[in-house]
């Protein structure tokens, strides 16, 4: 992470006294971040997004292998009209982002909307000294101004919830980065060396009594960053 690499390829010909001929020096620098999800791997075949991000509807067919029941919130991820079942136009980087529809007044469901991702890799959120969680979101001015939150969980215990400071974040109709210090999760009891799940939600997590509104968000580039360098 955040390391520069250099290489050169020389041409060698034993039949020539002028050999070897030095090639150009090339280099690249690795980023100062780990990727939690950039949404580029999902497709309409074996890697459908709703099997990775658990929403209110669930995925698959009851009684068949891989079936995933819904979480009974008002969330729905994915787009069945696109070739990848993701958003392919409104993207922050790459070619795909996650569409996230929310309805906090859906009959028979909780009055909040949440999508949850079980971490298979990158469960150690202290590796290489990372200190910040970053995600990009894109809302719509027509959305109801429901609170935007991120929840992080260990395999046991209560999730730690951080709510965006802007009460109308869901209505921001441009790509916006949200940076959360990992200490905010530690302060709520999360053990960063073995993070189990990350969830993104609209509304008040756990709300079962007060109806809310609806809308659609787009999420992209969920990353873990090292501390930024300070310029003296």
**15 part of a folded domain:** no
**86 part of a folded domain:** yes
**216 part of a folded domain:** yes
Say which CATH number the domain at 139 has. Answer: 2.60.120.430
What is the distance between the alpha carbons of residues 137 and 220, in angstroms, rounded to a whole number? 6
What is the distance between the alpha carbons of residues 152 and 117, in angstroms, rounded to a whole number? 10
**12 part of a folded domain:** no
- Kindly tell me if the per-residue pLDDT of 14 is higher than 80: no
Burial 202-219 (b: 16+ CB within 10 A, else e): bbbbeeeeeebbbbbbbb
Residue 45: Cβ within 10 Å count? 8
**Tokens 């969830």 sit on residue:** 199
Among candidate residues 161, 143, 167, the one with its CA nearest the CA of residue 206: 161
Lowest mean pLDDT: which of 60-69, 111-120, 194-203?
60-69
Mean pLDDT over residues 26-32, rounded? 50
* C-beta of residue 47 within 8 angstroms of C-beta of residue 86: no
Backbone angles phi, psi at 78, to 5 degrees: 90, 170
**123 part of a folded domain:** yes
Structural domain of 92: 32-225
**112 part of a folded domain:** yes
**3 part of a folded domain:** no
pLDDT at 228: 78
Mean pLDDT over residues 180-191, rounded? 98
- Domain count within the chain: 1
**pLDDT over 70 percentage in the chain:** 86
Q: Which residues contact 210 (CB under 8 A, 6 or more apart)?
A: 111, 204
pLDDT band at 5 (very low <50, low <70, confident <90, very high): very low
**27 part of a folded domain:** no
pLDDT at 24: 57
- Kindly tell me if the per-residue pLDDT of 186 is higher than 70: yes
């Amino acid at each position: 992470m955040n390391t520069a690499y250099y290489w050169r390829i020389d041409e060698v010909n034993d039949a020539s006294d002028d050999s070897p001929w030095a090639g150009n020096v090339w280099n690249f620098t690795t980023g100062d971040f780990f990727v939690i999800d950039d949404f580029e791997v999902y497709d309409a075949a074996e890697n459908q997004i709703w099997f990775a991000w658990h929403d209110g509807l669930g995925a698959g067919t009851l009684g068949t292998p891989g079936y995933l029941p819904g979480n009974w919130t008002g969330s729905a991820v994915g787009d069945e009209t696109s070739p990848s079942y993701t958003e392919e136009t409104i993207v922050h980087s790459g070619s795909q982002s996650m569409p996230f529809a929310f309805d906090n007044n859906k009959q028979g469901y909780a009055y909040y909307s949440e999508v949850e991702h079980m971490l298979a890799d990158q469960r150690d959120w202290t590796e290489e000294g990372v200190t910040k969680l970053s995600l990009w979101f894109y809302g719509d001015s027509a959305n109801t101004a429901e609170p935007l939150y991120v929840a992080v969980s260990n395999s046991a215990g209560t999730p730690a919830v951080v709510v965006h400071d802007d009460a109308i974040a869901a209505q921001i109709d441009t790509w916006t980065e949200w940076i959360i210090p990992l200490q905010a999760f530690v302060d709520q009891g999360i053990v960063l060396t073995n993070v189990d799940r990350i969830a993104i939600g609209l509304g008040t997590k756990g709300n079962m009594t007060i109806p809310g509104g609806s809308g659609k968000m787009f999420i992209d580039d969920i990353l873990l960053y090292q501390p930024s360098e300070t310029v003296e």
